[in-house]
Amino acid sequence: MTTSSVEDVLPLAPLQEGLLFHALYEQEARGLYLTQTAIRLTGPLSEDRLRRAASALLARHPNLRASFRYRGTGEPVQVIHRDPELLWTTIDIAA
């Protein structure tokens, strides 16, 4: 991570500190704060448009570009990335 790729560095809100604490120290609760959603798409799909929409979401909402790091002092902070890579995999199951 370079400084040119960082848009902002912010302190954690108290709720974020609590979530981070539980995520790190309660191993049996792994994924407790993780949400996944599956949707069924019908009809023709434009992969390019869907990818551009996902990129637009990242551009519009900084909280979706956040990661958590620790300063040299041990203080956790959230790092807002300027232009993160959108990881995308396409699987054609039509065959």
Q: So what's the pLDDT on residue 88?
A: 87
Give all domains of the chain, ordered by start, each with its CATH number: 1-31+45-95 (3.30.559.10)
The stretch 75-80 carries a mean pLDDT of 96
Q: How far apart are CA 68 and CA 79, in angstroms?
A: 6
Q: So what's the pLDDT on residue 1?
A: 67
Q: How far apart are CA 17 and CA 11, in angstroms?
A: 9
Phi, psi of 80 (to 5 degrees): -95, 115
Of 22, 7, 27, the C-alpha closest to 67 is 7
The mean pLDDT of the chain is 88
pLDDT digits 0-9 by tens, 11-57 = 999 999 998 888 888 777 666 777 788 888 888 889 999 999 999 99
The sign of the dihedral angle between the CA atoms of 88, 93, 49, 57 is negative
| pTM, to two decimals | 0.75
